[in-house]
Every structure is written in structure tokens, then in C-alpha cells.
Amino acid sequence: MNVRKVLFSACLLLLASTTVYAETLKIGLNYPQTGRYKDQGLQQRLGAFLAVDEINKAGGVMGRQLELVIRNTRGDPAQGAKNTAELIDREGVQMVFGGVSSAVAIASGKAARDRNRIYFGTLTYSNATTGAEGHSYMFREPYNAWMTAKALSQYLTTNHAEDDYFYITADYTWGWSVEESVRKFSGTEDTDRHQGVKTPFPGHITDFREALEQAEASNAKVLMMVLFGDDMVRALNVAYEMGLTKKMQIVVPNLTLGMARQVGPTIMEGVIGGSPWVWNVPYELNYPRGKEFVEAFSARYEMRPSTAAASAYSIVYQYKDAVERTGTTNTASLIRALEGHRYTFLKDEQYWREFDHQNVQTVYVVKVKPRNTIIADEYSSDYFSIIDSMPGDQAAQTREEWEERRREAGKPLQL
């Protein structure tokens, strides 16, 4: 009888240890399912689920299956922070990523920091995210406004050096960062000559029409539309109705495939913008892993991936890699493992810079192709010609420039 009890107890212990071993490794995606940035949010979700499914089919992370827990930020910073707290405190996630609005990413990142978790910014372009508001728990996967502006300005100063600019800028942290950075590097800081107007965020058609009327009256040759998501879509439709797309060179500093698809190939033709990644980059520059991602995403969802999808997909794999390199989910260990880490994934080499946790990578300048070329693609999504690029180390702020911004904000010179 005692032998049976011993065997029964041993079986229970074995079952318990197996259950613990098989416990899922939870990660949280905090993204806008609704609101002006919902399309970019959906792309994050699609990219993240693809990565999770691929990793789980290959055996998971150190033998544990990944579980993706999602929350809707609605594009609201307070909601993003609340979601992050809930994901960590109630759901037990070991890492959080996401965000489209930089204000959301910054607020969410601070909530993660307060709970000793890493937050990966997935689509946040404000310089502040890894600058004035940066901290050791925040890692930004895409480029920032500074990097965008430097690459764009290289092209613009070559092709539009004598032209007057007009800026239409979303009135919040991302918009301010982009306008400030583009003006700095394009030599258009003289606001008397290169005029501009701030529009509310989120904006309404009347806001954009009034701003575009001012742009038309200025006789500028370059229209810098520092707008994103649905706001950019609405404003560009109005610009087309007014005939401005034929009178001015339209520049959208942060251009995504989702935004281009929403506007459509006829209106988008000839628009110039910056991007950290577009789906044709792996084919034109021969990056095999990037091609694999595009083909898997296209086959699964019957659409091409945008930069938001690529960013979310890359983050999940970077987290997996860091956990496996350290052998733990301990946050402090993962931070050390990520800092300075270089890797090649969907494009050429990238790295997580140690002093600010900015992902340093090649920046692309793209121009929207003619309509017939776009719709000839299997998914009617061959939007972008790569017209220029800049290496990440050339585009990114130096340590000295970063420290200057930290001093201005009254922040320490280390994370």
C-alpha cells in the first residue's frame, strides 16, 4: 500500500513539474484597434501573430509556447498606460510592445518601467521616446524623427534646395519632433519664408482644408505634411481635390503602406516619404529573411506587410533571441543582452544602441510609383520606389547630440 502511495505521489510531482515547464510565456501587445491609427495597429497585430505562430511551431522559447495577450489603446496615452499595468499585473506578461502614437508609447513605457518590464516601441517616431523621455526599460525598434529628417533632407536639399516649403503639422509630440528635425536638416528654419501651421490631433476635414488653403496661398513648392494615419489620408484627399498634388511636391515624412493603400494609387502617385522598411526592400537588395517574411505574411493574410507589421514581427523575434541568449526572462538580464546587440533580420545589419536603446538602422527615402505599376502587383501594393537611403550611424543622433537634448529636458545623461 505504501509503495502505491509513493508511486502516486511521484506521478503527481511529475505532472506538476510538466505543467510548470509547459506554462506559456506571455507577452503583451498594446495597440490601437480603434481610432485614427487603427490600420497601423492592425498591421502590428498581424505581424505579431505571425511571429508567435512561427515560433511556437518551431518549439517555442526555451520549450515554452508564446502566448500573445492584446489590449486596445484607442490611441489614448492614459489608456495605453492602464493597459500596460493590467497586462503586467493581471495577465503576468513578461514583455509589452506596441503603440502608434508616440504619446501612447511614452506613457505605456513608463508604466512598464514602474513594473520592471521592458517595453518595445513598435511605431513611435518622436525623438522624445528614446531621447528626453527615454529610460532603460524602453527600446525603440523603428527609426526616430531625427533619422527620418536627416535622410529625407539629404534627398530634398539635392532636388529642392531653392524651393519654399510649407509645413502642415499634427499638434503633438511626434509632429513637433518631425517638423523641428526636418527644418533643421533641410535648412528651412526661417519660418517667414518657409511657413507652416499646426492642426489639432485628431484633426477634422475643416482643419485640413483651412491649412491647405494657407499652403496654396503661400506659393510654396514643397508641401511637408507632418500627419499620420487617418489624418494624413483625409488631408491628402483634400489636397488632391484642390489640385495641390499637381502644383506642389507632397512630402509625408513617415510614409506607410497602409496609409498609401487607404488613399489609393491615383492620389498617392509621386508622393515622397521616409520609411525604415518597405516590403520590396528585401527583393531589391536581396535580404533572404526579409523575403521569407513578406511571402509568409502575404500568403497568410492576402496582403503585403507594412513597416508596422515588420516592426512587430521583428520585436517578437528579438525578444525570443534575447531570452535564449540569456537563458532567462529576467528583465535586467534581457536589458544587458539587448544593449549593443547587432543582428541581421529583415534587412541589413541593425543594432540596439547601448546609451539610448534606439535601434540604429538604414533609413529609406521612397517615392510612390505610377498607378499602373502599383496595381500590377498581385496584391495591388507595389507602391514604393527606393530613391535614396542613409546608413543608420549617419542618420542617428550622436551621443553628444543626445546628451544635449537630455540636458535641455533636465534629465540625467544616462538611462
Query: How is the beta sheet containing 349-352 ordered, strand by strand?
Result: 342-344, 349-352, 359-360
Residue 102: what residue type?
Answer: S
Range of weakest confidence among 8-17, 92-101, 102-111, 333-342: 8-17
* Same-domain check for residues 111 and 191: no
Report the pLDDT value the prediction gives residue 135, as an integer from 0 to 100.
Answer: 98
What's the pLDDT tens digit per position in 244-286? 999 999 999 999 999 999 999 999 999 999 999 999 999 999 9
Please check whether residue 10 lies inside any domain of the structure.
Answer: no
Return phi, psi of residue 99, to 5°. 95, 140
Please check whether residue 156 lies inside any domain of the structure.
Answer: yes
* Same-domain check for residues 96 and 106: yes
Please check whether residue 11 lies inside any domain of the structure.
Answer: no
> Measured at the alpha carbon of residue 348, what is the angle toward residues 312 and 37, in degrees to the nearest 5?
30
* Same-domain check for residues 295 and 316: yes
Q: Report the alpha-carbon distance of residue 355 to residue 147 in Å, rounded.
A: 16
Q: Which residue has the cell 510538466?
A: 18
Q: Are 85 and 115 in contact (CB under 8 A)?
A: yes
* Same-domain check for residues 379 and 404: no
* Angle between the N-to-C axes of helices 173-186 and 102-113, in degrees from 0 to 180, rounded to the nearest 10: 120
* Same-domain check for residues 153 and 211: yes
Report the pLDDT value the prediction gives residue 376, as an integer from 0 to 100.
Answer: 94
What's the pLDDT tens digit per position in 385-409? 999 999 999 999 999 999 999 999 9
Query: How is the beta sheet containing 165-170 ordered, strand by strand?
Result: 195-199, 165-170, 222-226, 249-254, 272-275, 363-368, 384-390
Please check whether residue 1 lies inside any domain of the structure.
Answer: no
Of 82, 151, 142, which Cα lies nearest the Cα of 114? 82
Residue 234: what residue type?
Answer: R
Of 309, 299, 306, 229, which Cα lies nearest the Cα of 262? 229
The domain tally of the chain equals 2
Of 74, 81, 88, which Cα lies nearest the Cα of 109? 81
Please say if the pLDDT value at position 13 is more than 80: no
Report the pLDDT value the prediction gives residue 15, as an integer from 0 to 100.
Answer: 41
Please check whether residue 118 lies inside any domain of the structure.
Answer: yes
What rounded mean pLDDT belongs to the chain? 93
Count the helices and strands in the chain (H runs, E runs): 18, 15
What's the pLDDT tens digit per position in 74-94? 999 999 999 999 999 999 999
CATH of the domain at 378: 3.40.50.2300
pLDDT-derived band of residue 10, with 50, 70 and 90 as boundaries? very low
* Same-domain check for residues 211 and 352: no
* Same-domain check for residues 34 and 122: yes
Of 251, 258, 263, which Cα lies nearest the Cα of 168? 251
* Same-domain check for residues 171 and 185: yes
Please say if the pLDDT value at position 18 is more than 60: no
Please check whether residue 280 lies inside any domain of the structure.
Answer: no
Please say if the pLDDT value at position 58 is more than 60: yes
Report the pLDDT value the prediction gives residue 22, as an integer from 0 to 100.
Answer: 60
Return phi, psi of residue 348, to 5°. -80, -170
Residue 275, SS3?
strand
What's the pLDDT tens digit per position in 297-345? 999 999 999 999 999 999 999 999 999 999 999 999 999 999 999 999 9
Please say if the pLDDT value at position 239 is more than 90: yes
What's the pLDDT tens digit per position in 337-387? 999 999 999 999 999 999 999 999 999 999 999 999 999 999 999 999 999
* Same-domain check for residues 259 and 379: yes
Please check whether residue 3 lies inside any domain of the structure.
Answer: no
pLDDT-derived band of residue 3, with 50, 70 and 90 as boundaries? very low
CB count within 10 Å of CB 90 equals 9
Report the pLDDT value the prediction gives residue 1, as an integer from 0 to 100.
Answer: 41
Q: 3-class secondary structure for 357-385?
A: CEEECCEEEEEECCHHHHHHCCCCCCCEE
What's the pLDDT tens digit per position in 108-127? 999 999 999 999 999 999 99
Question: 26: which strand partners?
Answer: 67
Peptide bond preceding 265: is omega within 30 degrees of 0, i.e. cis? no
Domain range spanning residue 268?
A: 146-275+363-395
> Measured at the alpha carbon of residue 246, what is the angle toward residues 245 and 252, in degrees to the nearest 5?
30
Report the pLDDT value the prediction gives residue 67, as an integer from 0 to 100.
Answer: 98
Q: Are 155 and 273 in contact (CB under 8 A)?
A: no
* Same-domain check for residues 60 and 195: no
Q: Mind giving me the DSSP string for 201-262?
A: SS--HHHHHHHHHHHHHHT-SEEEEE--HHHHHHHHHHHHHTTHHHHSEEEEEE--HHHHHH
* Same-domain check for residues 135 and 222: no
Please check whether residue 41 lies inside any domain of the structure.
Answer: yes
Share of the chain above pLDDT 90, in %: 89
Q: Report the alpha-carbon distance of residue 6 to residue 24 in Å, rounded.
A: 30
pLDDT-derived band of residue 8, with 50, 70 and 90 as boundaries? very low
* Same-domain check for residues 167 and 223: yes
Label residue 171 exposed, middle or buried (CB < 10 Å: 0-12, 13-18, 19+): middle
